Amino acid sequence: MTRFLKGTDRPLAEAYQLALLDLDGVVYRGKNPVEYAADSIRAAEAAGMTIEYTTNNSSRFQHVVADQLKGFGLDVEPWQVITSSVVAARMVAKALPAGARVQVLGAEHLRDEVTRNGLTIVDGPQDRPQAVIQGWYPGAVGGKAIANILFGDVSPEGKLPLTFYHSIDELPEFTDYSMKGRTYRYMKQDAMYPFGYGLSYNEYELSNVKADREALTEDGITVTAEISNLGEYDSAETVQVYVKICAEDTPNAQLKAPVGAASIGYLILRIVSEASCHALCTKCEAVLTEYTSTPIS
């Protein structure tokens, strides 16, 4: 049964035994403490209230957060910090038997918590995990969206707006601010999941991809293609056009925006099952040398 916080004319530290505080915006803002927060917390603890702290950051270890709070003059132990990794690992452990195989997509903190809860971490789908856990930021209705996809109520349609590397070891040093080796535009190695990657329960067929010219003019370039939905779901597919300048020391093929699409750079086409439609991209603002379609399966 849901219970709601009741009003009281007594100080909260006297009326309640526990306060659960969101960190960002309540206790600190970035690296800086919120004014008077530490004084109020110490006063509540002196009155007998237990204080615990929550954060949706899945990568920060509890002891790291506790050390930061100690720097604000608070007496905090790691167990008082509840991160999203701690909660996610406990929820999965509650639903699965001890030793169950779990694929972890996330930071080292998440991996540690999964192991701490008696689960076995595996590296990929080939190991047939019984669950997949990811440290991410799904938003307010992300859980419902994921459930709809897992149970087949809808077909996934999204494309990645960023690149997943195989390892952070592939990235330059953090203090190196050059773009060399960073993002799909400048990396030389294959990505685990590249920018623009996406999956679908449907199978799509892209055909008759044509450009009306190879050299850039003031009129731009017109690209056309036929796309067919060969699956059973009515869903959307994203047509992306990538272009590359034919010169040394230039970026890899980049997503380019059609006229009228501002900086979006792609066309989203909703197609009913077993139907086709025509995609038109006009005046892509670069020299067209290659076309890259997004992997679908």
Percent of the chain with pLDDT over 90: 30
Contact 271, 235 (CB under 8 A): yes
Q: Calculate mean pLDDT across residues 22-51.
A: 93
Mean pLDDT of the chain: 81
Single-letter amino acid, residue 289: T
Confidence of residue 7 (pLDDT cuts 50, 70, 90): confident
70-81 burial by CB neighbour count: b if 16+ within 10 A, else e? Answer: eeeebebeeebb
pLDDT digits (tens, 9 = 90+) for 219-245: 777 778 888 888 888 888 888 888 777
Q: What pTM value is reported for the model?
A: 0.57
Residue 158 tokens, joined: 């999204």
Q: Enumerate the H helices of 47-182 as residue ranges.
A: 62-70, 84-95, 108-116, 142-150
Contact 271, 205 (CB under 8 A): no
Contact 276, 228 (CB under 8 A): yes
